Amino acid sequence: MKFLHTSDWHLGRRFHGEDLIDAQRKVLDHICETVRTEQVDALLVAGDVYDRAIPGLDAVRLFSHALHQLADLDIPTVMISGNHDSAHRLGVGARLLARARVHLRTDPADIDTPILLEDAEGPVAVYAVPYLEPTLVHTQLGAETVSHQAVLTSALDRVRADLATRPEGTRSVVLAHAFITAGDTPASETGSERNISVGGVAHAGASVFDGIDYTALGHLHRPQRVTDRVHYSGSPLAYSFSEAGHDKSLTLVDLPGSAEPTVTRTALPPDLQLPLARMTGHLEDLLTDPAQETLVESWLHVTLTDTAHPYEPMARLKQRFPHTLHIEHTPAFIPAQATTSYGERLRGRGDLDITHDFITTVRGTEPTAEESALLQEAIDDSRTSAQEKEAV
């Protein structure tokens, strides 16, 4: 049986203020087209359909558009809620949608009720495990502690108990939305995922899925293998500059009758991927260097290395690079006094020395003789004014 595994659509998300609705619509259209061209037997969507618990109207319209396309595919779609979704809101109309073979699972009570599929090699039981917030579901699931490890262990115990009642040879698939690790090997985050830590522990071990033929994970935005049978599809769009240069992909899974699943990543066409890029250097160099012309239409994260903070850098950069979205100032030279504490720099210093240090720290160069004279004049005027107030 062939599956298309995707997750983390985050409908309605913005990228540093840029609207992504059109880009997300094109990606969803591509997902549906891939289902047709690859002759997929079922589509798996492992959570974070929306970016917010209360999504905006444009996001809701886009999801409605997606649901109509999914219903027209004439194959089962299995979809779960993620930590960004409101399970109750997303789950409205779930039973009605199931009649169109769109199985939207958001209720932990349904964890051990699989969607049953079948092909020439026999039955496949697909178990949908929505995002489980430990503080909310640990009692319902009978978990030993309030942790991701505990609630997922309880959830998968229920899945395996149901699977044991199925005909021999039934293959199993689980959808889950969580931070899963394999032993001491950390999974790879991108920085655009929302923290789900509970008591300082955000993750659970991959061993909770032992005995399952394939686990389709959502939550982490970079596609990656956790084990041979446990995979993240990653998000279909980049949602942080840490993902610049990463090819976004869709995950195709062939699940044979007895062997391990075969997982294939298919890169999204370049025109569907966000044009993200990073640029580093002095402001004047970036504004004049002909080599930077290739980045004029890119969405840019710019790191300025000027010693002093340039004047109106965003406005000036946007004159050449209209899609400059984020600027950081990281001077190539940091004065020695900037590495000590403010209190240490003040101790035993006169007013003029302190103002000199301030100018040097902010600008990167010491005050000129003329500037020093103006600073001394301002200090003297301030002292005179203070003395006159005390005399009144």
- Location of structure tokens 């109106």: 312
Task: State mean pLDDT over 163-167.
Answer: 96
> What is this structure's pTM?
0.82
Find the helix or strand (DSSP H, E) in which 141 lies.
helix 134-141
Q: What is the pLDDT of residues 246-282, one digit of tens each?
A: 889 999 999 998 889 999 999 999 999 999 999 999 9
For the chain, how big is the Rg over CA atoms in Å?
Answer: 28
Of 114, 104, 76, which is closest to residue 212 (Cα–Cα)?
Answer: 114
Query: How many CA atoms, within 13 angstroms, populate the side-chain half-sphere of residue 242?
Result: 10
**Sign of the alpha-carbon dihedral angle for 89, 94, 95, 99:** positive
Burial letters 42-57, b for 16+ CB under 10 A, else e: bbbbbbbbbbeeebbe
Q: Do 70 and 38 form a contact (C-beta atoms < 8 A)?
A: no
Quote the tokens at residue 155. Answer: 């959830």
Q: For 27-57, what is each residue's pLDDT tens digit?
A: 999 999 999 999 999 999 999 999 999 999 9
Angle at 279 between CA 278 and CA 285, to 5 degrees: 170
107, 153 contact by CB (below 8 A): no
One-character DSSP codes across 317-365: HHHH-TTEEEEEE--S---GGGGS-HHHHHTT--HHHHHHHHHHHHHSS
Collapse the DSSP code of 296 into the 3-class scheme (helix H, G, I; strand E, B; otherwise coil) and give the result: coil
pLDDT, tens only, 85-106: 999 999 999 999 999 999 999 9
Whether residue 172 contacts residue 163, with contact meaning beta carbons closer than 8 Å, is answered with yes
| Statement: residue 392 has pLDDT above 70 | no
Beta strands in the chain (DSSP E): 2-6, 14-15, 18-19, 42-46, 77-80, 102-105, 115-119, 122-129, 171-177, 179-181, 203-205, 214-218, 224-227, 230-232, 249-254, 262-267, 276-281, 299-304, 324-329
Please tell me the least confidently modeled range out of 218-232, 268-282, 362-376. Answer: 362-376
Amino acid code (one letter) for 336: A
> Would you say 25 and 65 are in contact if contact means Cβ atoms under 8 Å apart?
yes
